[in-house]
Every structure is written in C-alpha cells, then in structure tokens.
Amino acid sequence: MQPIKKYFAIYADTCFASFGDRVKIWITINEPLQTAVNGYDMGGFAPGRCQGSSIEPYLAAHHQILAHAAAVSIYRSKYKDKQGGQVGLVLDCEWAEANSEKNEDKTAAARRLDFQLGWYLHPIYFGDYPEVMQERLGDRLPKFSEEEKDLLRNSIDFVGLNHYTSRFIAHVPDSPDEGDFYKAQEMERIVEWEGGEKIGDKAASEWLYVVPWGIRKVLNYIAQRYNNPPIYVTENGMDDEDNETSPLNEMLDDKLRVVYYKRYLAAVAQAIKDGVDVRGYFAWSLLDNFEWAQGYTKRFGLVYVDYKNGLSRHPKSSAYWFLRFLKGGEGKNG
C-alpha cells in the first residue's frame, strides 16, 4: 500500500498544474474514515474487505493521511505562490454526546470523537495519533517516522466537515457494533433519551436522525481542540425513501427536510456567533443521486430526479425554501 502516497502525489500534482489557474479550493480526500472502516473493516463499501482484520483499516487510514500531506507539500512548494489556493481534508463526524453524567460515559464520548476526528486531525495538528488510539490499538496502529511527522504537521489550510446526525454515547465493555474499529472504542451509540423519546425525527437511512444541536457542538469542538481552523461544512442534509407508488406531488413536499435545514443552519449561525471560523456551507445534495451502497433507494436531493422518465428534474419544497432563504426572504424565525 505504501506506493499510494507516491501515486496520489503525482495525481495531485497533475491536477494542480492543469486546473490550478481556476480551482482555488482543493480537497484531497473526502471521508477517509468511511474508506478505512467500511472499506477495510466492515466490508460494506469498496473494496469490500471484511476479513476480520484488526490491522487493515488502520493501515488504510495511515496511508491516506500521508497521501494527503504529500499532496499539500507539493502544492505549497510548487503552486501556492502562483495560484493562491488552499488545500484541505474533508472528515465525516457524528457528534458524540455523553449518555449520562457518569465519568465513564463522558470518557467514552470523548474517545468516540478521537476515533472519528482525532484519527486524522491529531497527526496533522500534533504530529501523532490520539493517545487513546495508541493505548487501545497498540501495535495495530502504524507508526509515523520523524520525517513523516514533519510532513504531516499543519498540512491543512481548512477542515471540511461532513455532518448529518448525532448519538448519545455510553461506555460498554463490548460494543454491539461489528468490526475492530468499533470494538476498540468500547462504546454504544444510543438514539433515545432516557425517557424513551428518540434523539430526533428519523430520516430514511437507519443511521440518520434530525439532531440540529449536534452540529453546533461538533463545530465548537473542532474550534476548541484544533486552534479554531477555517471550517467548511462540506455536506449536511437528510434523505427520503424512494417510493415508486407515491404521487410526485407527495415526493416534492419534503416538509421534514425544510425543518432540517432551518434548524441546522440556525445551529451553524449560533456556532459562528460562538466564534467558530465557518467559511462556507454546502447542502447535500442539490440532486437525488447514487448513494454509496444504498444506490438510488435514498433521496437526499433538494431537486427530485425522475429516474424512470428521462431523468427529469423537479424542485422540492426544500429547494424553494432555500431560494427564499438565499434571497433574504426568510425571517429570523422562518
């Protein structure tokens, strides 16, 4: 796997040279955690590795981090002065809220965040993996050479955040989730308050609940933990189930998505008032599209795509809400 750093650097160099006069904001890798965990531990995503390996996901992540840093090094040494662009990395993260005031639950929630964000940001900002990962994974976690640590440090101009939902986190000795990555965290992800009420309205995907307060918390967490870097919310949204039997007008009247964006954007605005350096926000997604292993069964779009009738496109209620919002037509409580 080691040559991937070299080949990725060559690829990045080609992109910078070919498009750098027009592209000013670069993302090296999108959601590397998904590739490492679901590609090399759980097996649900490409390349579909699910061999019970306790090493492969951490090797995959290790070389992704080094490939990112190599690309940034090339840009800064050859192109930044001439092109004036920025290079960042996009990470996906659920907010982890401690399930109780117990120290073990608070520690489990902190551990969960280190296994999501810290896995990639700690090497970049502090030169090595989070201590909790080193302690729990031991020799399964690859080591950085001193030369690699130098390459990694501050190899980022901004953090991209893909955020959709949040979970309560409780400490458990044996995680109910499959895969070494989850077992090592000794935590359970919970979707209910103590009284049994769900953490938020459920979207179509089994993992996605509407929890707007979580995005404010994760944005503040990044700012406080990593010296308030520039942040772009690079993905945020929710999905509906594809339903061939529902009339088109019902599929276009996506009330919950409108509520989702109203509340999540309000929470982002609150984070900015808190002092978080949020530079931009991107809804996922403009159009219904192919969603990883779920294919066309889930619809995240602001615009409905009719897959059976020439891919015709129909704006949903959320698209019209965004239109009014961007024109300043939504009131403070709208």
C-alpha 35/C-alpha 62 separation (Å) is 12
Query: Residue 20's closest CA among 90, 85, 89?
Result: 85
308 neighbors 248 (Cβ within 8 angstroms): no
The one catalytic residue among 97, 188, 235, 291: 235
Task: State the residue for tokens 């949903």.
Answer: 316
8 neighbors 71 (Cβ within 8 angstroms): yes
Burial of 108-134, coded b for 16+ CB within 10 Å and e otherwise, reads: bbbbbbbbbbbbbbbbbbbeebbebbe
Query: Nearest 5 degrees, angle CA 182-CA 127-CA 2?
Result: 70
CB-based contacts of 295, cutoff 8 Å, min separation 6: none
Q: What share of the chain is helix, strand, coil (3-state, %, to 5)?
A: 45, 20, 35
Q: Using DSSP, state whether 28 is helix, strand or coil.
A: strand
Phi, psi of 280 (to 5 degrees): -170, 165
Burial of 296-305, coded b for 16+ CB within 10 Å and e otherwise, reads: eebbbbbbbe
The DSSP secondary structure of 269-324, one letter per residue, reads HHHHHHT--EEEE--S-SB---BGGGBTSEE--SEEEETTTTTEEEE-HHHHHHHH
Q: Is 178 a catalytic residue?
A: no
C-alpha 332/C-alpha 334 separation (Å) is 6
Q: Is 250 a catalytic residue?
A: no
| Residues that are catalytic | 31, 235
